[in-house]
Structure 1
Amino acid sequence: MDGMSTATRTGGQLLADALVAQGVTHAFCVPGESYLDLLDGLYANNDKINLTTCRFEAGAVNMAEAHGKLTGRPGVALVTRGPGACHAAIGVHVAFQDSTPLVLIVGQIPFAETDRETFQEVDYRQMFGPIAKWVTQIDDAARIPELMAHAFDVATSGRPGPVVIAISEEMQKVRVAVPDIGPADVAPAFPAPSAMQKMLAMLDKAERPLVVLGGSRWTEATRRTVRDFCVARDLPVSVAFRRQSLYDCRLSNYAGDLGVGADAGLVAKAKQADVILAIGTRIGEPVSQGYTLFDMAGQSGQSIIHIHPDQAEIGRVYRPALGITAEVNAFAEALAQLPAPAGTPRWSAWTKEVHAARVKQAEAPDYAGPLNLARELQALEKILPEDAIFTCDAGNFATWPNRFMHMTAQQEFLGPTNGAMGYAVPAAIGAKITFPDRVSIGLVGDGGFLMTGQEIATAFQADAAPIILVFNNGMYGTIRMYQERAYPGRVSGTKLTNPDFAKFIESFGGHGETVEKDGELVPAFQRALASGKPAVIEVRVNPEQVTHRATIEELRKQGGGKH
C-alpha cells in the first residue's frame, strides 16, 4: 500500500485501502449496486480483509457489532442505500446503546440527484443522527482518507459507538491521488492521581460497598486488574445488564447481575449499599431498575463513585460524590498502581451476605414438567470450554442463563442491552468468524430465531460452525408475561406457530437436535459439537413456565384474574 499512497486510485479503491489502513481484518455485507466500486476495491484487498456476505442487513450489522465487542476494534458493515440502510438501523441502535465501536458504510445515490427523492434516496444524517455518534457523507473522493480515519477515531474515542458513512455512487468512480491515513497514536484519558486517592479514602470509610462493572472495550488485562483489586479488598461485585463477561462469576465476591430480571435480593442490597463504585457503566435504565435504585440528587447518604470515559455521562442522571473521567483500561492501569490493602476490611461480613444471596438465587427450583431448564443449563455449563463465547438474544428465556449460569474469566457473553430480538444468531456467526477456534453458542428464543435465523446460510458459506440453542415455548414470552399481568387470560398477538427447528438446520446440511427431557441437553450439545457443522438444538420448554420465577397461572392471579 505504501507504494500506492500517491498513485491515482478510484474512490472505491481508496475506500477499501482506507479500511486496510485502519487495520480492518473483517467486514460483513449485503451487496448493492450503490457500492460496486467499493466491492471491487475489496476484491483487490481480499488477502487483507475477510468479507462475509450475509442474507439480511440487520444480520450483517449484528455480526459486525459482535466483532466489535470481541475485539475492541470497530466492526465494519457494508449495506446499500434506502431499504438496506433501513434494515441496518437496528444494528446501529444496538451498537449505540451497547457502546460498541462500529463503522457502517452505506452506498448512496449519485450526489447530483440529491433532494429529488430519487430511487432509494434517504438523508442519512437525519435518519441516523439520533442513534450514531457521527454521520457523514463522502462526495469528494479526495477526502476519503481524512473522513474514514476520523470515523474510526470517533467510533473508538470517549464512549465508543457507531459511525455511519454514506458514500455517493459516482464519487466511487472518480480517480484521485491522495495518501492513505492510518490510525493516530492517542494516549487514552488517564485518571487524575488525586481522584484515585480520594476514591480509596471513600472506600476506606465504607460499611456496605458495592461495585458495578459495565461498559465496553475492556481488555483481558483490565478484567484481571479489576478482579484482583476487588478480591484483595473483598468488595462485592455486580455486573451491569448483559455484561457478565467482565467478571469471573464463580468467585466468592460475585453479587450477580443488575439488569432486566435482576434478583430482588441484589436490588435490595444495592439500595442498602453506602458506596457504589461504578466502573465503565453509564448507570442506565436497566442497571438502575428504571431509575429507582439510587438517589439522583445524592442526598440519601449513599455515595456514588462513577468512572466513565465520557465526562458528559458522569452526573447525567445520578450526581456522583466523585466522578472520574477515564478510559476504562487506563483506569485499570492506575488501579494496579495503588497500594495493597492492610488487614481485613470491615465489610467482609457484608460481602459474604451479598454473595450468599447470589448463591441462593442460582439454586435450581423444582420446576414442573419433563425438562428443568435451570438444571440443564447448569449441567451444560460444566462441560463448556473455559473460553466459550455466548451470544444472547432478547426475551424471557435470556433471564435463565443470567440467573443459573456462571461465566468464567475467559468466556465472553454478548447481548444487546437495547433488548433487540434477532441478535443472537448473526452474532454467534460473527463471533465464530472472528475466533474460529473458540466454541460459539447462540442463545435465542423461538421468536428471535425466526427474525434472523436465515443467517444460518451465512454460517455455511463462511465455513463457520456456531451452535444455536433455540428455546421454544410457542410465544413471544416477554410480551405474554406483561400481557398476563395487565390483562390476565386475554391472549392477543403473542402466540407463535413454529417449524421443526432441527429439521430446519438439517435442510441446510447442518446438525439438528431436539431436547424435551432432563438429561438430554448435554449429550445433544456434545453431538452437535462433534459434528463440526453449524448446529441448532431446539429446547422445548414448558410454555406454562413463562418466567423462571412465575407460571402463567401465577401471573394471572397477580393480575387480579379478570378484566
Structure 2
Amino acid sequence: MPDGAGMVKRTGGQLLADALVAQGASHVFAVPGESYLDLLDGLYARRNEIQLITCRFEAGAVHMAEAVGKMTGKPGVAAVTRGPGACHASIGVHVAMQDSTPLVLLVGQIPIEETDRETFQEVDYRRMFSPLAKWVTQIDDAKRIPEIMAHAFDVAVSGRPGPVVVAISEEMQKDAVSVPDLGIARVLPPHPAPESIPAMLEMLKKAQRPLAILGGGAMWSEEGRADIAAFLQANDIPTAVSFRRQGLFDGTSPLFAGDLGVGADAGLVQKAKEADLLLAFGTRMGEPVSQGYTLLDMAGRTPIVQVYPDQAEIGRVYRVALGITADVNRFARAIRDERVAGNWSEWRQSVRAAREAQAQAPEYEGPLNLARALQALEQVLPDDTIFTTDAGNFATWPTRFMHLKPKQEFLGPTNGAMGYGVPAAIGAAVAYPNRQVIGFVGDGGFMMTGQEIATAFHHKVAPIIMVFNNGMYGTIRMYQERVYPGRVSGTELTNPDFARFIEAFGGHGEVVEATDELVPAYKRAAASGKPAIIEVRMNPEQVTNRATIADLRAQAKK
C-alpha cells in the first residue's frame, strides 16, 4: 500500500530484486536457500527483466557469474545461502579478486537477533571475505537496500575491478518499507594526465627493444582493444599478453609474441629480459607475468611504463619509470593515432620468430598429436568463438599452439582455480547463446564441477566441453616427478566414461584418440545443437607439451 508520500511499500526481498534491475543486472546465478526466499520471490516478480539461473553448486554459480563479468565488464551477480553456501562460493570470489573481475555476491544471513550465538549456519562474512573481496557489507535495514546495492555495483567496477559481497539478513528481507530505487551513476573514468602521453612517447622514441604486455581482462572494452591494437600495429611494437589473457590481442598478428604466464615459452621470457622498455598496459605485473618475480630487477633497471586505473597497483612490486593512472580504454583512445619514428622491425621480427618457433607442433609419441589436432580445430571454429579454460597442465596446449582471432574471447582463472572451466563455459553460453562456446578442462577439474552441465540442459544452452583425460592430476604429477621421481603418491585418478556421462543427460558425447579425429568430432558435436563433451584421451606419459615423465625423471637424477 502507498505511504504518505505516495510510494508503494515493498519488502526487502522485492527491493533487492528491484535494485538488481535498477543496476542493469541481466542474470542471477544461484543455488537457492531458505535464507533468501524473499529475494527469490522478488526475482520471480521481475522474471521478465532479469533471468534467474538455477545452478547445482555454489562454486559453479559464482564461476558462471564471474565469466559474465569478464565478458561484459559489468558485475556478474550470484546468490547463495548462508554458511556452507557461502563457503562453497568463496573460491569464485577469490577468482574474481585475482582476476580483477567485477562481481556482486549476495549471501543469505541468519536472523539479526541470533547473532554471535553460533546459531545454525552462522558466519561473520565481514571477517570471512575481507581478504578475498574489495568490499564486504551486510544489510540489516531494508531502507538502505537501494543505497548499499548501488554502492556495491559502483565499487565492483571502480578502479581495479573486483568482487563485492553483500550479506542480506533473513528478517530484513521481509520488512516492508517505502524507499525510492537508485539507478546507475554516470561516472566518467579517469583519463591520462596531459603530460603522461608525451612522456611515454619520448621514452618509446629512445627505445630499441620495446615490448608491450597487455593484461587486465574485464577492464578492456571491445573498442579499447581495437584502439590499443591500432596504436601497437601502427608503431610495429611486439606485444605479449599476460597469463590467460589471450583474448586481448590478435594471436594471428605478426606482432603477437605469446603469453607471459605459467608455462611461458623460454624464448619469450628471454626476449622480455632483453627488452629495454616494457609497456605494461592493464597488467599488474604479478607473479605469473613476472615468472615468479624473476623477470626484472625490482629497482627498475628495465624502464617500465605502467598504465592502470588504480594508482595503488602502479609500482606495487616493480619500480616504474612512468606510472599512468587511467582507465585503459580512455588511455587507448588517447594514443590510438600517435606515431613514433622508431626503428625496431628487426627486434619485432626476432620476437615473433620466437613465438612461431614455440607454436611449431613437435612430434609426439602415439596416435594423438594434440598440438596438430588443436591447430586443425582452430581453422574450423567460428570467428567469434568463446573459449574457457580450467587450470592445469592441459591448459598450456591451447595457449601454446592455438591463435585467437580478434573477435574471439578467452576466459581463464589467473588464480589457478580448478573447477572453473565448465561453469565458465555455461555462464558464457547463457550470456551469449548465439556464440559457440568451447570449454577446455582436465579430467581432474571436470570432476570438481562437471555436474554443472545439468545447468546447461536446464537453461537450454549448448557449450562444447573438451575433457583432456590423462588419468591424473597432471600438474602435481609433473612437480612430483621433478622432486620425487618415480614416487607416485596421490596423483592417479579413476574416471568415468565422459562421453556416456553427457549422454546420460541426453547430450552428445565423443571420444578422440587420434589426431585426425578431433575436427570431425567437433563438427558432429556442434551440429547436434546439444551440450556436448569431447573426451580427448591423452598419453599419460606426455605429462606436459614439452616433457614426458621419463624426461622429468632423467632431469631429476642429474
Asked if TM exceeds 0.5, the reply is yes
Q: 2 CA distance for matches of 1:331 and 1:421?
A: 34
- After superposition, where does 1:219-238 map in structure 2 within 5 Å? 219-238=221-240
- After superposition, where does 1:135-284 map in structure 2 within 5 Å? 135-215=136-216, 216-284=218-286
Pair 1:303 & 2:307 matched: no
Q: In structure 1, what is the equivalent of residue 335 of structure 2? A: 335
Q: In structure 2, what is the equivalent of residue 66 of structure 1? A: 67
**Alpha carbons 2:204, 2:340 under 8 Å: kept:** no
Q: 2 CA distance for matches of 1:494 and 1:170?
A: 47
Which amino acid in the other structure matches residue 315 of structure 1?
G
* Structure 1 residue 333 displacement after superposition: 1.8
* Structure 1 residue 193 displacement after superposition: 1.7
Q: 2 CA distance for matches of 1:135 and 1:7?
A: 29
Q: Could you report, residue by residue, the CA deviation over 1:307-336 in whole angstroms, capped at 9, with x for unpaired residues?
A: 001000001100100000001111112112
**Alpha carbons 2:102, 2:162 under 8 Å: kept:** yes
Q: Could you report, residue by residue, the CA deviation over 1:325-369 in whole angstroms, capped at 9, with x for unpaired residues?
A: 001111112112x53344xx3211000000011001000000001
Which amino acid in the other structure matches residue 513 of structure 2?
E
Q: 2 CA distance for matches of 1:21 and 1:85?
A: 25
Q: 1:79/1:489 Cα in 2 relative to 1: closer, same or farther (>3 Å)?
A: same
Q: 2 CA distance for matches of 1:416 and 1:5?
A: 48
Q: 1 CA distance for matches of 2:392 and 2:512?
A: 20
Q: 2 CA distance for matches of 1:107 and 1:56?
A: 15
Which amino acid in the other structure matches residue 429 of structure 1?
I
Q: 2 CA distance for matches of 1:321 and 1:295?
A: 13
Which amino acid in the other structure matches residue 338 of structure 2?
P
Q: 1 CA distance for matches of 2:189 and 2:557?
A: 55
Q: 2 CA distance for matches of 1:259 and 1:19?
A: 36
Q: 2 CA distance for matches of 1:228 and 1:75?
A: 29
Secondary structure, in 3 states, of the residue corresponding to 1:130? coil
Which amino acid in the other structure matches residue 372 of structure 1?
N
Which amino acid in the other structure matches residue 206 of structure 2?
K
Secondary structure, in 3 states, of the residue corresponding to 2:360? coil
Q: 1 CA distance for matches of 2:156 and 2:206?
A: 38
Which amino acid in the other structure matches residue 183 of structure 1?
I
Pair 1:44 & 2:45 matched: yes
Which amino acid in the other structure matches residue 521 of structure 1?
L
Which amino acid in the other structure matches residue 455 of structure 1?
E
Flag structure 1 segments of 5+ consecutive residues without an equivalent: none
Q: 2 CA distance for matches of 1:340 and 1:399?
A: 35
Q: 2 CA distance for matches of 1:296 and 1:306?
A: 14
Q: Percent identity?
A: 71
Match of 2:510 among 492, 498, 513: 513
Secondary structure, in 3 states, of the residue corresponding to 1:277? strand
**Alpha carbons 1:424, 1:442 under 8 Å: kept:** yes
Q: In structure 2, what is the equivalent of residue 324 of structure 1? A: 324
**Alpha carbons 1:5, 1:179 under 8 Å: kept:** no
Q: In structure 2, what is the equivalent of residue 90 of structure 1? A: 91
- After superposition, where does 1:500-539 map in structure 2 within 5 Å? 500-539=497-536
Which amino acid in the other structure matches residue 124 of structure 2?
D
- After superposition, where does 1:520-559 map in structure 2 within 5 Å? 520-559=517-556
Match of 1:387 among 384, 407, 420: 384
Pair 1:134 & 2:131 matched: no
Q: CA RMSD in A?
A: 1.2
Which amino acid in the other structure matches residue 100 of structure 1?
T
Q: In structure 2, what is the equivalent of residue 9 of structure 1? A: 10
Which amino acid in the other structure matches residue 511 of structure 2?
T
**Alpha carbons 2:201, 2:340 under 8 Å: kept:** no
Q: Could you report, residue by residue, the CA deviation over 1:52-93 in whole angstroms, capped at 9, with x for unpaired residues?
A: 000000000000000000111000000000000000000000
Secondary structure, in 3 states, of the residue corresponding to 2:379? helix
* Structure 1 residue 13 displacement after superposition: 0.2
Match of 1:494 among 479, 491, 498: 491
Which amino acid in the other structure matches residue 15 of structure 1?
L
* Structure 1 residue 40 displacement after superposition: 0.2
* Structure 1 residue 5 displacement after superposition: 9.1
* Structure 1 residue 217 displacement after superposition: 2.4
Q: 2 CA distance for matches of 1:332 and 1:112?
A: 52
Which amino acid in the other structure matches residue 295 of structure 1?
D
Which amino acid in the other structure matches residue 224 of structure 2?
T
Aligned residue pairs, count: 555
* Structure 1 residue 8 displacement after superposition: 0.5
Secondary structure, in 3 states, of the residue corresponding to 1:360? helix
Q: In structure 1, what is the equivalent of residue 33 of structure 2? A: 32
TM score, norm. by length of structure 2: 0.98
Which amino acid in the other structure matches residue 410 of structure 1?
K
- After superposition, where does 1:408-447 map in structure 2 within 5 Å? 408-447=405-444
**Alpha carbons 1:510, 1:533 under 8 Å: kept:** yes
Structure 1 residue ranges, 4+ long, deviating more than 2 angstroms after superposition = 3-6, 338-342
Q: 1 CA distance for matches of 2:6 and 2:39?
A: 17
Q: 2 CA distance for matches of 1:340 and 1:504?
A: 55
Which amino acid in the other structure matches residue 6 of structure 1?
M
**Alpha carbons 1:5, 1:180 under 8 Å: kept:** no
Q: In structure 1, what is the equivalent of residue 451 of structure 2? A: 454
Secondary structure, in 3 states, of the residue corresponding to 2:298? coil
* Structure 1 residue 408 displacement after superposition: 0.6
Q: 2 CA distance for matches of 1:353 and 1:340?
A: 22
Q: 2 CA distance for matches of 1:265 and 1:280?
A: 23
